[in-house]
Amino acid sequence: MQGARSWSIGRFCDPGSDQLRRTTELTLAVARKSLFKLHNAVGLGVLVLVLISAVTGAVLSFRGQLGYVPPSAPVVADHLPLEQIISRAEAAGDGSPATDVQLALEPEDPYLVWLDDDAETEVYLDGAGEVLATREGRRGLTRILFQIHTGELLGLFGQALMVAAALGLCLLGWSGFGMWRSRRRRVKTRG
């Protein structure tokens, strides 16, 4: 059967012809250009949000050096069981339950118990269960930075913006990979 035509390009050109090669190159060029435009638009769209998240995240990684210096605890020979330390911390607050506990890693380190109240109370205790200090975590610098970092400061709208920024980063990775791959294909077809 002489003169058989390729059905893959709509019966317009013979396989291996220059027209097929030019059509393929044109299709790849359009795809590359579209991906590039998408990549730029998404990158510019999420730039500010990603910068805010990156800066606040970097600062939060040094939060131990930024904020409140916890009291040192007297060295105690026998520590109370953890359940009793937690119940004493809850009694020191308004009776709200504990949400998190930071254990004393060194002999002079206090136990830190976070309470689930409106003030986000932090209670520092020694190994004998004596309250060393309490403070409101809601108003601290690290809490405000965390609210900015997660978008929580602007409520549901801010959280949605940060989710959109995270999805935008995923889209940037996908489109960047697509541009890299199409560029490799173009180099292979030339070589």
Q: How distant, in Å, are the alpha carbons of 3, 31, 70, 166, 173 from that of 185?
A: 29, 12, 59, 29, 18
pLDDT per residue as tens digits for the range 140-169: 777 788 889 989 889 999 999 999 999 998
Amino acid letter, 66: L
- The predicted-structure confidence for 9-45, as pLDDT tens digits, reads as follows 455 555 566 776 677 777 777 777 888 888 888 888 8
Cα 51 to Cα 41: distance, rounded to the nearest angstrom? 16
Name the domain count of the chain: 2
Q: Write down the pTM of the prediction.
A: 0.52
Domain assignment of residue 40, given as a range: 24-61+145-190
Establish if 126 belongs to a structural domain: yes
The answer on 149 and 117 residing in a single domain is no
- DSSP conformational letter for 86: H
Higher pLDDT, 11 or 81: 81
